[in-house]
């Protein structure tokens, strides 16, 4: 039991029997269905809307347009609220918008008795627009004279941040004699989370209060934002979060809960469901930001980094959502993993455009950064003829590092060991050598990439979590949290933590999986790979208190000093030799019903976390490139992680597999494409190439277990990191195999054939462009 054991997931039984209830399984009797009417332009203003024809559809209850919603702008990202106005999230949208900024923006909503009537009626709502030009990229949106997408930002730059360290400007440091200068432009694409459960929420009223059931990672934040969006006191909102079918950051966003809540408020409290189609999820929820990086580096012949310059433009899409935080995180990550001897200059821009809004997605800017940075580091190593791993080890973050920007400290690092394990497993030296001088159409190569990743959001934002334990009559206990299970296994590892610290076995700890903001302790939710670290500390504090109270009561009951007692494997025992004295059931029955002293034993603690630490890892890949048809076959792929102590190694491995698969999709094919008018071309699961089982190789996960002194159990971030290093590792392996550097994601077959043709690996045949 406890930390390090491979216990099965606590929710597995519910899930394999189909009994696990998700948001759509909570349908209220008499539920109405909402269908959103979406703009058919990507940039402009709604002039008028006609609903007469739509109202004729049988089953339509009501239609609301953008001219009827409250004039309240609200923020949507799942950040802890900031009490300082300067740090508050950007409020740049309403429930329905007259000023539309993306194709498919919400301009009206139909509520009907059945989904088909709602859909039919929505298709009959007509709107007239004033149209503006469409910007798909930051460059287009920043062109002089391009109309402001949000009037608050006339040049469409949502934010710009600058960072400099080393005291010397980059140009000056780079101009010193004897340095090699390497520069590159690296471009990442727009991708989507593709949680299999759709975006869905429903709302109804109980008395004067609004109840929202939602597939969300952040129930307590949903409550706050619903309150803000509707102008309703937050205490009148109750949010229930059932099991959720994946989130990956898209549900670290308050998407349609405010609309559902407002609709029920308009309709006398009748239940209303808002469920999006897959197509709507692709274009109208959130995506991973496409970011362009320009990197310049001056390096000494011995491999030491002297100076670097970083410039990045992040494509925000139509609404701010998490906004600049993403590319700012990328800039921080660039600073963290490698250290320059003399200078580092960073500029990051976030720019509004008219594509789908960028938000949080597993890794929060670091997968984009890692692609650019780790591609670039291979290019730099190649420029000075150094082995890429040796080069990295010479310049990477070491234990004891303190980030000058945030104070985040590297308390533990297994990065070197991760690299050693990876090299050994992939056969690095031999295969790098064997890759030289190939000339067939099938070529093999190996590549790698590494990363560092913070654990949680401190000190950029608040980190706070709380937990509660309650004793039952049979000696078992409830564990209640505001932190959420979203598939990653949080409930299981929290149970293990509580077992470890209390001495009560996992089978006797009943975690309350569903968050109901009326009773769940406060926690900001599942994001930033924070829960095992931040919430974990709250669980530990709570469990310690709970155990202390149990021992105190046992001492009273046994008439013994509590210092002589311990709680092990669910029994009160002699501390010295472990001999049993009392079962927890006996203790609990007394605590409940003893006529002399009845105490309902509970414990609750808040952990306000003011610390952070770095997790590390690397990906090693061997590929075979089929040059004439542009296909990359992954022959072997291995992620090695230092996430500190593993709470549950089996679930940790599973988490790594999923991240690797997401990383492979990012590398080899996923890309949400738009036409010139900003309409998504492939926003469905057929045309958007999420990898199937046949596209996925065997995934190998390995670990280096450091013991991080700042983590509650020596643990640090694991949830997001596995997705981070895969794409650049694949890129570097293709470079090793073919000599061709690919600097634009994804490496889909057509892009590969085009690049290989430019590089002369495929014969160019002008003649065949016949008519």
| Binding of residue 58 to other proteins (CB under 8 A) | no
| The binder of other proteins chosen from 77, 104, 489, 711 (CB under 8 A) | 489
| The binder of other proteins chosen from 93, 94, 101, 120 (CB under 8 A) | 120
Contact mark string toward other proteins, 353..392, x via CB under 8 A: ----------------------------------------
Structure tokens that stand for 227 in this block = 């309150």
The arrangement of strands across the sheet holding 126-131 comes to 99-100, 44-50, 126-131
Smallest gap from Cβ 58 to other proteins, in A, equals: 13
- CB nearer other proteins, residue 169 or residue 749: 749
Smallest gap from Cβ 128 to other proteins, in A, equals: 21
Listed ranges 335-343, 402-410, 551-559, 695-703: which one lies at the site for other proteins (CB under 8 A): 695-703
Convert 230-248 to b/e letters by CB count within 10 Å (16 or more is b).
Answer: bebeeebbbbbbbbbbbbb
| Binding of residue 658 to other proteins (CB under 8 A) | yes
Listed ranges 97-105, 131-139, 194-202, 371-379: which one lies at the site for other proteins (CB under 8 A): 194-202
Smallest gap from Cβ 490 to other proteins, in A, equals: 11
3-state secondary structure 228-276: HHHCCCHHHEEEEECECCCCCCCCCECCCHHHHHHHHHHCCCCCEEEEC
Listed ranges 39-47, 140-148, 301-309, 754-762: which one lies at the site for other proteins (CB under 8 A): 754-762
Give the whole-angstrom CA distance, residue 228 versus residue 212: 14
Smallest gap from Cβ 703 to other proteins, in A, equals: 15
| The binder of other proteins chosen from 68, 629, 709, 758 (CB under 8 A) | 629
DSSP string, 649-692: HHHHHHHHHHHHHHHHHHHHT----B-TTS-BS--STTTS----
| Binding of residue 195 to other proteins (CB under 8 A) | yes
| Binding of residue 30 to other proteins (CB under 8 A) | no
- CB nearer other proteins, residue 680 or residue 714: 680
Is the CB of residue 45 less than 8 Å from the CB of residue 98?
yes
Is the CB of residue 262 less than 8 Å from the CB of residue 226?
no
| Binding of residue 442 to other proteins (CB under 8 A) | no
- CB nearer other proteins, residue 581 or residue 690: 690
Q: Which of residues 586-605 bind other proteins (CB under 8 A)?
A: none
| The binder of other proteins chosen from 425, 512, 685, 759 (CB under 8 A) | 685
Residue 363: C-alpha distances to residues 23, 611, 732 (Å)? 26, 19, 20
Give the whole-angstrom CA distance, residue 420 versus residue 411: 20
Smallest gap from Cβ 517 to other proteins, in A, equals: 21
Report the largest interatomic distance among the alpha carbons of the chain, rounded to a whole angstrom.
Answer: 98
| Binding of residue 698 to other proteins (CB under 8 A) | yes
DSSP string, 21-63: -BGGGGPPTT-EEEEEEE-SSSSEEEEEEE-HHHHTSTTEEEE
| The binder of other proteins chosen from 403, 523, 653, 720 (CB under 8 A) | 653
| The binder of other proteins chosen from 45, 55, 113, 119 (CB under 8 A) | 119
| Binding of residue 624 to other proteins (CB under 8 A) | no
Q: How many CA atoms are closer than 13 Å to the CA of 724, on its beta-carbon side?
A: 29
CB atoms within 10 A of CB 287: 26
Number of residues that bind other proteins (CB under 8 A): 83
Q: Which residue shows structure tokens 């296909």?
A: 631
Contact mark string toward other proteins, 569..588, x via CB under 8 A: --------------------
3-state secondary structure 442-487: EEEEEEEEEEEEECCCCCCCCCEEEEEEEECCCCCEEEEECCCCCC
Smallest gap from Cβ 139 to other proteins, in A, equals: 21
Structure tokens that stand for 584 in this block = 């927890």
Bridge partners for 566 per DSSP: 573
Q: Which residue shows structure tokens 């090299």?
A: 423
Alpha-helix residue ranges (DSSP H) falling in 505-608: 536-558, 584-593
| Binding of residue 694 to other proteins (CB under 8 A) | yes
- Helix/strand/coil percentages in the chain, nearest 5: 30, 25, 40
| Binding of residue 687 to other proteins (CB under 8 A) | yes
| Binding of residue 425 to other proteins (CB under 8 A) | no
CB atoms within 10 A of CB 219: 27
- CB nearer other proteins, residue 97 or residue 488: 488
Structure tokens that stand for 210 in this block = 């609004």
| Binding of residue 439 to other proteins (CB under 8 A) | no
The values of phi and psi at residue 225, to 5°, are: -70, -35
| Binding of residue 4 to other proteins (CB under 8 A) | no
Contact mark string toward other proteins, 238..267, x via CB under 8 A: -----xxxx-x-------------------
| Binding of residue 739 to other proteins (CB under 8 A) | no
Listed ranges 50-58, 313-321, 575-583, 626-634: which one lies at the site for other proteins (CB under 8 A): 626-634
| Binding of residue 689 to other proteins (CB under 8 A) | yes
Q: Which of residues 494-553 bind other proteins (CB under 8 A)?
A: none
| Binding of residue 749 to other proteins (CB under 8 A) | yes
| Binding of residue 271 to other proteins (CB under 8 A) | no
């Amino acid at each position: 039991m406890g930390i390090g054991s491979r216990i099965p997931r606590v929710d597995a039984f519910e899930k394999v029997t189909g009994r696990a209830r998700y948001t759509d399984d909570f349908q209220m009797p008499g539920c109405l269905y909402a269908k959103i009417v979406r703009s058919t332009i990507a940039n402009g203003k709604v002039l008028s809307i006609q609903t007469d024809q739509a109202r004729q559809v049988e089953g339509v209850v009501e239609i609301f347009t953008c001219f009827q919603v409250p004039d309240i702008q609200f923020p949507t990202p799942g950040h802890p609220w900031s009490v300082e106005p300067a740090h508050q999230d950007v409020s740049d949208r309403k429930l329905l918008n007259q000023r539309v900024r993306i194709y498919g923006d919400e301009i009206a909503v139909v509520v009907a008795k059945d989904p088909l009537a709602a859909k039919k009626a929505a298709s009959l709502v007509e709107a007239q627009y004033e149209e503006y030009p469409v910007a798909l990229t930051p460059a287009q949106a920043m062109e002089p004279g391009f109309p402001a997408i949000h009037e608050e930002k006339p040049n469409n730059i949502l934010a710009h941040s600058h960072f400099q360290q080393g005291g010397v400007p980059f140009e000056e440091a780079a101009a010193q004699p004897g340095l090699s200068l390497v520069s590159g432009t690296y471009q990442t694409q727009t991708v989507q989370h593709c949680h299999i459960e759709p975006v869905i929420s429903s709302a109804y009223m109980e008395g004067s209060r609004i109840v929202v059931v939602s597939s969300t990672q952040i129930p307590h934040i949903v409550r706050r934002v619903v309150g803000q969006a509707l102008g309703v006191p937050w205490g009148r909102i109750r949010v229930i979060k059932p099991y959720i079918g994946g989130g990956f950051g898209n549900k670290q966003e308050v998407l349609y809960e405010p609309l559902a809540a407002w609709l029920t408020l308009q309709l006398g409290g009748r239940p209303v469901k808002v469920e999006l189609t897959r197509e709507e999820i692709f274009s109208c929820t959130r995506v991973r930001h496409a970011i362009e990086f320009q990197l310049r580096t001056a390096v000494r012949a011995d491999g030491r980094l002297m100076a670097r310059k970083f410039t990045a433009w992040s494509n925000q899409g139509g609404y701010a959502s998490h906004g600049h935080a993403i590319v700012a995180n990328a800039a921080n990550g660039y600073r963290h993993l490698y250290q320059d001897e003399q200078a580092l200059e960073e500029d990051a821009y976030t720019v509004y455009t008219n594509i789908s809004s960028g938000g949080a997605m597993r890794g929060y800017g670091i997968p984009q950064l890692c692609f650019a940075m780790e591609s670039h580091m291979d290019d730099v190593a190649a420029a000075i003829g150094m082995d890429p791993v040796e080069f990295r080890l010479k310049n990477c973050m070491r234990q004891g590092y303190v980030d000058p920007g945030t104070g985040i400290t590297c308390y533990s690092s297994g990065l070197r060991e991760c690299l050693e394990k990876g090299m050994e497993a992939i056969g690095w030296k031999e295969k790098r050598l064997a890759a030289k001088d190939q000339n067939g159409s099938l070529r093999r190569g190996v590549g790698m990439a590494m990363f560092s990743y913070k654990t949680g959001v401190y000190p950029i934002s608040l980190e706070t979590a709380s937990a509660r334990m309650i004793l039952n009559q049979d000696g078992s206990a409830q564990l209640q949290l505001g932190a959420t299970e979203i598939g990653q296994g949080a409930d299981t590892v929290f149970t293990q933590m509580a077992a470890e610290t209390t001495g009560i076995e996992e089978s006797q700890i009943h975690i309350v999986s569903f968050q109901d903001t009326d009773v769940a302790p406060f926690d900001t939710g599942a994001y930033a790979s924070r829960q095992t670290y931040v919430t974990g500390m709250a669980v530990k504090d709570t469990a310690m208190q709970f155990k202390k109270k149990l021992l105190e009561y046992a001492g009273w009951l046994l008439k013994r000093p509590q210092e002589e007692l311990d709680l092990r494997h669910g029994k009160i025992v002699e501390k010295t030799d472990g001999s049993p004295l009392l079962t927890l059931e006996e203790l609990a029955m007394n605590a409940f019903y003893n006529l002399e002293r009845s105490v309902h034993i509970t414990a609750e603690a808040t952990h306000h976390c003011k610390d952070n630490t770095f997790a590390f890892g690397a990906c090693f890949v061997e590929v075979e490139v089929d040059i004439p048809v542009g296909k990359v076959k992954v022959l072997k792929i291995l992620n090695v992680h230092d996430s500190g102590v593993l709470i549950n190694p089996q679930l940790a491995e599973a988490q790594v597999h999923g991240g690797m698969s997401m990383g492979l999709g990012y590398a080899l094919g996923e890309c949400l494409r738009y036409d010139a008018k900003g309409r998504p071309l492939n926003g469905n699961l057929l045309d958007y190439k999420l990898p199937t089982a046949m596209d996925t190789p065997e995934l190998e996960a390995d670990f280096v277990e450091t013991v991080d002194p700042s983590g509650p159990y020596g643990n640090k971030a694991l949830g997001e990191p596995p997705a981070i290093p895969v794409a650049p590792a694949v890129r570097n392996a293709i470079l090793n195999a073919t000599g061709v550097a690919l600097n634009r994601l994804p490496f889909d077959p057509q892009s590969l054939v085009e690049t290989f043709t430019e590089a002369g690996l495929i014969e160019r045949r002008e003649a065949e462009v016949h008519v």
